[in-house]
Amino acid sequence: MRSVTFDDLEPTGSEQYTRYTFTEALETSNLAANRYHVPPGGTLPGGLHAHMDQEEIFVILEGTAVFDTLEGSARVSAEGAIRFAPGEFHSGRNDTNEPLEMVALGAPKETEDVRVPATCPACVEPRLRLEGGGGDVYFSCPNADCGRRYRALACPHCAHETLSFVAIEGTPVVRCRECDSDFEQPPLEHIGKE
């Protein structure tokens, strides 16, 4: 048996969210577990995405979360929970004036197939795979006959490099976090094949 308090955990994140990961502290083998603090106007990391190999449950401890999907949006308040099946696109945000506290649980623990709702320019596969980490993020086409890799380019309007996928009335778009420009497809540069 292992136990841990949130105060024992080292926070990571950005101005959009703070994450406390207790997966390692509890030495879980089949479950990922994180606590998120999302300030008013903040968002969960990752934008609109789907884990093809992991289901996720979000349990709201305090406040109200809005989860956007390609089917619409759902509001979940304190003491409520929501589940996303493998392959279901989702993103989370806090559109209230109050802080949001939640716990996210994912099984299995490791996710190796994260997709974004972008179409491969070469073969029109509808879900590009998100690859890499840190500053070396790129997308790849999961279609074995294609396998092209792409690097995301900066916003064509303001040259800001932080673009994210969002759902607007069930339609995925790419939004620049700096100038709020929306694009049907992300600006991509072909960089080779897998």
CATH number, position 13: 2.60.120.10
Q: Which residues fall within 8 angstroms of residue 5, CB to CB, at 6 or more apart? A: none
pLDDT at 134 > cutoff 60: no
Q: Which residues fall within 8 angstroms of residue 84, CB to CB, at 6 or more apart? A: 50, 51, 55, 56, 57, 58, 67, 69, 90
Give the integer Cα–Cα distance in Å for 8 and 137. 31
75 plus 132 within the same structural domain: no
155 plus 181 within the same structural domain: yes
Q: Are strands 91-93 and 100-107 parallel, antiparallel or unpaired?
A: unpaired
pLDDT at 6 > cutoff 70: yes
Residue 69 within any structural domain of the chain: yes
94 plus 121 within the same structural domain: no
Point out the domain boundary residue: 52, 72, 107.
107
Grouping H, G, I as helix, E, B as strand and the rest as coil, residue 8 is helix
Count up the domains in the chain and report the number: 2
pLDDT at 30: 95
Which structural domain range is residue 128 located in?
114-193
pLDDT tens readout for residues 79-133? 999 999 999 999 999 999 999 999 999 999 999 999 999 999 999 999 999 987 6
Point out the domain boundary residue: 60, 82, 107.
107
The answer to whether 85 and 58 have CB atoms below 8 angstroms apart is: no
Give the integer Cα–Cα distance in Å for 183 and 52. 24
pLDDT at 148 > cutoff 60: yes
Q: What is the mean pLDDT of residues 48-75?
A: 97
- This prediction's pTM: 0.91
Q: What is the mean pLDDT of residues 128-156?
A: 88
What's the DSSP call for residue 153?
P
129 plus 184 within the same structural domain: yes
Contacts from 127-132 at CB under 8 Å and sequence distance 24+? 127/50, 130/49
Grouping H, G, I as helix, E, B as strand and the rest as coil, residue 84 is strand
The answer to whether 6 and 20 have CB atoms below 8 angstroms apart is: yes
Point out the domain boundary residue: 51, 74, 107.
107
